[in-house]
Every structure is written in structure tokens, then in C-alpha cells.
Structure 1
Amino acid sequence: MQPIPDYAMSVAEQLRSMTEAGTLKADKAQMAVAGHLDRILQDLKQRKPAAKKSALGWMFAQKRKPLQAVRGLYVHGSVGRGKTMLMDLFFKMAPVEKKRRAHFHEFMADVHARIHAHRIRLKNGETRQADPVPPVAAALREEAELLCFDEFTVTDIADAMILARLFTELFARGCTLVATSNVEPDNLYRDGLNRGLFLPFIEMLKRHVEVTTLDSPTDYRLEKLESLPVYVAPLDAEADRLMNLAWQRVTEGRPEIYTEIEMKGRVVPVPRAVGRSARFTFAELCENPLGASDYLEIARRFDVVFIDHIPYLGPAKRNETKRFIILVDALYDSSVQVFVSAAAMPETLLTEKKGTEGFEFDRTVSRLFEMRSADYLALHHANRAEL
């Protein structure tokens, strides 16, 4: 009997197959979420395709009702419970040609870049459309009818103010959203500036997605933890010595240079670089006005990043904490090898859990631990070998 190809299996069947093979532990909470994802797979398969265009189709294009979006899913829960694995399985099997999966920060960086480009075209007289959101949404929908976001979170006011309008357009055009997050929808942009203006987006989101919790009792990331000497604490002369030794080993003693990354008319300084390795202080990365797009570009340019002198974080360093969370996300998602010296171990680095940063920092802690593990480092080396 021929094995069933992956694309012919449901998410639940995939989980059962992996459990039977011994590569995964049976987990009722994960199986429950798989059921929700399988409902979306079936709805996508059964959705009727758009009517075939006739020679006179353009005459009726404006009157044609757009496809209704398949209701999506928003999965929230603690870090390390298997949300990313389930998204992997679902996205692989989703029966649509036009689909996109991205970290939410990466997606929003793309949106802002498109809006900026549209405004340049407007300024140059290349378009008469003053509002950039509808054409940006139309282009995004043309590229993908299914949007899958890892780590859906909103901490930036620029993102918060545009989301309702953007997704009103996307949902109206038949776009389906599937997202994972560490926070439930009602806690998105919690304590954010002008949050009242953001609340309509939350209500709209809940109308277009099912909301479910993945509350598995096991943190599978920490279960795999195998610490390696790439995170040094506390901050003292010994920490500096160990970081310098690691830098010498990684760079093989080659001379370092100062370089810059150009970003839309400005530059991001890289004080110390050797090939595809870079070294920064926490202050250089998180006390300057950098954002997700800057960190993603750093992660794209460099395979190894050193971060010296991370202090205790908390309410007194709220902006720096936000940037650090986004920085770790960018480096983790790009499988960058990270060497760190910090005031304390990850679980005690945040002095007070308060507001959005308190929720988000749980993910940062888990990722900092995993980035020290043998599995993560093996993935890093595998990715470097492909370059």
C-alpha cells in the first residue's frame, strides 16, 4: 500500500501519524486546534471558484459580488505549546495557490513600505488615488487569499492605527486569516497609546476568525533545552572576557570594520562587522529609534550577531524593552546565531511584568533559552551551509 501523501492528510491525521511514529507526544490540546484548522481546509476546498470571465466580463466587474472569506482562526496560548508546528502543517496542506505566511512584524513592515511607495507615486503624479490603503490591500489580496501570521502582536502605534482599515479591505476582498499569538484578541495593544481607536479592529477580527486557546500543559521548547555557552550573565569583567573570546573564535581573528545598512534614505550603523558576523551593544540596537524592518535587515545580512551589555528591563525602559522583543523575534525567525551578555538570565531580565511587554516577554524568554539549544544551533549551521 502506497503511503498517503502529506497534502492528502488532514492536520489531525498528520498529528496521529507523527504520534504513532514516535516523533510527537499525544496532546489533546493540539488535536483540538487541529480540528479547527481542518475545518478551514475543508471550507477552502469547498469554496466555489470565481466565475469564469466572459468577453464582456469587464462590463459587470463592478457589480460582481466579491468572494466571501472563509472564516479564519486565531490561536493563542503560552509559548512552546506547538502553535508554530500546527501552523506548519496547516500551511503546507492549505489547498490554495496564493497563500502567504509571515511573522506579523515582517508583514507590517511590508505594508508600510508599500504605503510609502504609493505616496511617492502620488507625489510624482503617477496616481490620483490619495488613500494608499485600498490599492495596497488590493495588491496584497491579489498575491494571497490566505494570510498566515506567526506571533500576531501589536505594539506599534503606526501598526495599530492602520490595521482596522487594512483588514476591512482585505476581508471584503475574500481574504482568510489564520494567526498564532501569545495573547487573546482582547489583550492586543493592551495599554497602547490611543487604544480606543484600535478597539474596532479587535471586534472586526473576532467576527472574521474563530478564537481558540492552545493550553497544552507542556512547554516543548524548554523540554528540548540544552544550554550552550552563548548567553553570559551577570555583567562583569568575566562576561566581557567570554564574549571577546567567542568573538575571536567566530571571526577567526580577522580584522573588523565599521559598516552601514541603508534603509530608505537613512542608515543603520553596524559598529563591528567581520564578514557575516556583527557585534552591537544593547544600547546601539535598542536605545536608538530602530524598528522591525531594521532588525529584519540585520538578520538578513548577518548569520551571527553579538549583543553586549543587556541591562535589566522594565517600565523604566519601556521603549527599549519593546525594541528588544522585536529584535529577538527577528533574529530567531531568521535562525541567526546569537551571543549575549546580560545583567541576568532571561527569566529574571524583566523586572516587572506590566502591560503588553509583560505578555510579550514570555515569548522572548522562551526564545532566548531555545537559541542556546543544540537543536537551534544545528538549524543555524544547516542554514549557513545552504548559502
Structure 2
Amino acid sequence: MEPIPDYTSSVAEELKALAVSGALTPDAAQMQVAAKLDHVLTCLKETKPAKKSSALGWLFARGSGKPRKIRGLYVHGSVGRGKTMLMDMFFKKAPIARKRRAHFHEFMADVHSRIHEHRQKLKRGETRQADPVPPVAAALFAEAELLCFDEFSVTDITDAMILARLFTELFGLGCVLIATSNVAPDDLYREGLNRSLFLPFIGLLETHVDVVTLDSPTDYRMQKLANLPVYISPLDARADAAMTAAWNQVTDGVKGAPVEVPRKGRSIHVPLAAGRAARFSFSDICEKPLGAADYLALAERFDQIFVEHVPQLGPEKRNEAKRFINLVDTLYDNTVRLYVSAETSAEDILTERRGTEGFEFDRTVSRLFEMRSADYLARHQAERAEA
């Protein structure tokens, strides 16, 4: 293979270099999106650097003294077409210091946390600003003039009701937005409660971003996932390395972080999450008092779940075995992709298989085998594409 040349100047040049090296397959649809991302890069490069005395200094075009409005980009299309890869290339090249790349749901969790903290300050008499949205937006903009969101999706009514007000403030300050999504803006929060109150956000969004569809004929994610091991045993250094390699493939190397998944007034702790992938140890997910409803909340939030270090389960681990059965059943019913590292083969996880629990575990073993199949992976991908 030829060495990959320096491709720091544009997303399109990076794509071409990777294609020449054989690391990527040339894709015309991706190149079209790359050109639009490069246009945003050019606009960013033509602005003055921000001055410490003014959060808005960076918005003024060189030498013009006038505010420059930079339109962002909203890229939508089916899963596995390369949207996240392109956005990550763009983000690394964006020539500004204050920028943020996040999964959309993680960003909104941060927003709600800041709003809650502002209201606590109001109660303590530390602020007289009754409306938390303007100061929260100002703080977010002070940290990042460029926001890059992966998997822009609105499913929560609390998010839906606040987005228009929040982004009216952010766009007014000069925030530039780049987002990827599986759906077009008009389909955001489709069938959602009180959707009429959400519609102004769609109009606001389309005023500040260009909308482009990425319709590549090839599902690159499916090609990549099809070759990943999903059940690894026994537990050893090789198993740990294989799970980490699979995690890095699934997340495209994005640095993960702990998150909290809300459920009926409380939250489920996820030790490591990146986008719509979550990583647990067996003790995190099966030795804590979690039930089927908790596992359903995780299945609705994540497309791919890793469970590491599953031990062999004897009679003294009956509760843990029951939770493991519930977990596999729930993930299977919701076509979540499950990756497991275990002490033994699936058939030998439960040391005693008697009565109802024995029958239930036989079903679990069968499902674990089916979840490794190409048919299950195809169903997983198809349902995510329709989501």
C-alpha cells in the first residue's frame, strides 16, 4: 500500500487519501457530504480568532467588522453510511479552540443538569435570573462555539419542549451546528406528545443549517460488525483484548464516558458509553438490583451492549442468573447487538439447569447463539435504519 499523505487541509482530501491507501472504498455520496463539510471549514477559517474579552470576537469576518453567520450542516441517512466518520474528520480539522463533539442525548443530559443547578441557585438566592435557558445557553457557548452532535434524535418530551428556546439562544450567540441523524429534520419527534409545540424548532434548525442526505449504497457498519466476535471465552488476556478491539471498532475509537439513563425518577448507571454503545461488567449489570424494566430502558437507549467477565453461575448465584436471563431476553426482543466475554461456553454458564429456570436458560443459550448469526445482525441493522 502507498503511504497516506498529509490530509490536514480538507475532509475530501482525507477521504481520497484513505481510498488510495485501501483503508476505505471510494464513495461518491460521501465525497459530496465531505465537500459541504469543507465549505463550513472554509467559513470557519475566514473568521477572526476569538478574543478573551469577547466571546463573539470569532464571528467577525476578517477585516469586515461585521458579524458573519456561518450555516452548519445536518447530515441524515441510514445507519452505517459513514456519517459519524465524516463528522469526526471535520471536527478534528475545525480551526477553532472552543468546540464540542458529543452524542446528542449526552449533551441534553448536560443541559438538564445545568438547568437544575441554575434553579437551585435561584432557590438559594444566588441569582435573580428566573429563566434558566439564557444563562445556560451563554455558558454552553462560552465553552464551545462549534457543536458537533452524533445521532441527533428527539424522543423525550422534556428535550422536545426546550430545544427551540435553547437553540434560539445558541444560534443568536453565533453557535455553529454540525449534526448527524438517521432521520430528516421533518421527521424528528414524529408521533411525539405535543409535537405541535416542537415544530418551531424544526423551522429554526433549517434556518441555520443546510440539510443533506447521505445515501451511500453500501452499509459499511454492517460490513464491519459482521466480522466482530460477539461471544468470547474463556476469560483471559486474549478475551479482554478482543472485547476492547470490538469496542473500539463499534465506537470508531470515540472516547467513552459514564452516563446515567433516567427511568421513573431514578437513573441507571452506565460505566462507559459512547454514542449508542454501552459497556458493562457482569457485576455492573447483573449483580445489582436491576429488573426487566431497567434492561428495557437500556435497550431503548443503546443499540450495542458489551457485558464482560460473565462467570459460571452456580446455585448460590440464582438471582444473578435470573437477571442475566432477563437481560438477554430483553436485548434479544429489541434486537440489540450483544457482545459477551465469559468464563465458559454459553451452554455451561449455568451449572445446574432444573425446572423452570432450566428451561428459561435453555432459551437464553439458544438466543445467545442466534444473536451471533448474520440473520440477527441483518435484523438489527434493518430495525435501526427504520428507527
Structure 1 residues 124 and 250, CA gap change in structure 2 (3 angstroms): farther
Structure 1 residues 187 and 51, CA gap change in structure 2 (3 angstroms): same
Residue correspondence of structure 1 range 275-314 to structure 2 within 5 A: 278-279=285-286, 283-287=292-296, 307-310=327-330
The unaligned stretches of length 5 or more in structure 1 are: 58-64, 232-241, 252-260, 314-320, 365-387
Q: State how many pairs are aligned.
A: 302
> 3-state SS of the aligned residue for 2:180?
strand
The unaligned stretches of length 5 or more in structure 2 are: 58-64, 241-258, 271-279, 311-323, 347-363
Q: Is the 8 A contact 1:68 1:172 kept in 2?
A: no
Q: Is the 8 A contact 1:79 1:363 kept in 2?
A: no
Structure 1 residues 35 and 149, CA gap change in structure 2 (3 angstroms): same
Structure 1 residues 277 and 174, CA gap change in structure 2 (3 angstroms): same
Structure 2 match to 1:180? 180
Q: Report Cα offsets for 1:125-147 as digits up to 9, x if no partner.
A: 11111111000000000000000
Structure 1 residues 191 and 360, CA gap change in structure 2 (3 angstroms): farther
Structure 1 match to 2:229? 228
Residue identity in the other structure for 1:20: V
Structure 1 residues 106 and 26, CA gap change in structure 2 (3 angstroms): same
Q: How far, CA to CA, are the matches of 2:260 and 2:385 in structure 1?
A: 32
Q: How far, CA to CA, are the matches of 1:262 and 1:222 in structure 2?
A: 28
Q: Is the 8 A contact 1:277 1:304 kept in 2?
A: no
Structure 1 residues 287 and 71, CA gap change in structure 2 (3 angstroms): same
Q: How far, CA to CA, are the matches of 1:108 and 1:337 in structure 2?
A: 30
Higher RCO by CA contacts (8 Å cutoff, separation 6 or greater): 1
Q: How far, CA to CA, are the matches of 2:206 and 2:178 in structure 1?
A: 12
Q: How far, CA to CA, are the matches of 1:96 and 1:309 in structure 2?
A: 46
Structure 1 residues 4 and 23, CA gap change in structure 2 (3 angstroms): closer
Give the TM-score normalised by structure 2. Answer: 0.65
Q: How far, CA to CA, are the matches of 2:159 and 2:267 in structure 1?
A: 22
Q: How far, CA to CA, are the matches of 2:168 and 2:91 in structure 1?
A: 23
User: Aligned-pair RMSD on alpha carbons?
Assistant: 4.5
Q: How far, CA to CA, are the matches of 1:75 and 1:227 in structure 2?
A: 27
C-alpha deviation, 1:21, in angstroms: 1.1
Residue identity in the other structure for 2:220: Y
Between stretches 79-88 and 336-345, larger displacement belongs to 336-345
> 3-state SS of the aligned residue for 2:81?
coil
Residue correspondence of structure 1 range 58-207 to structure 2 within 5 A: 67-207=67-207
Give the TM-score normalised by structure 1. Answer: 0.65
C-alpha deviation, 1:359, in angstroms: 9.1
C-alpha deviation, 1:223, in angstroms: 1.5
> How many percent identity over aligned positions?
54
Residue identity in the other structure for 1:190: R
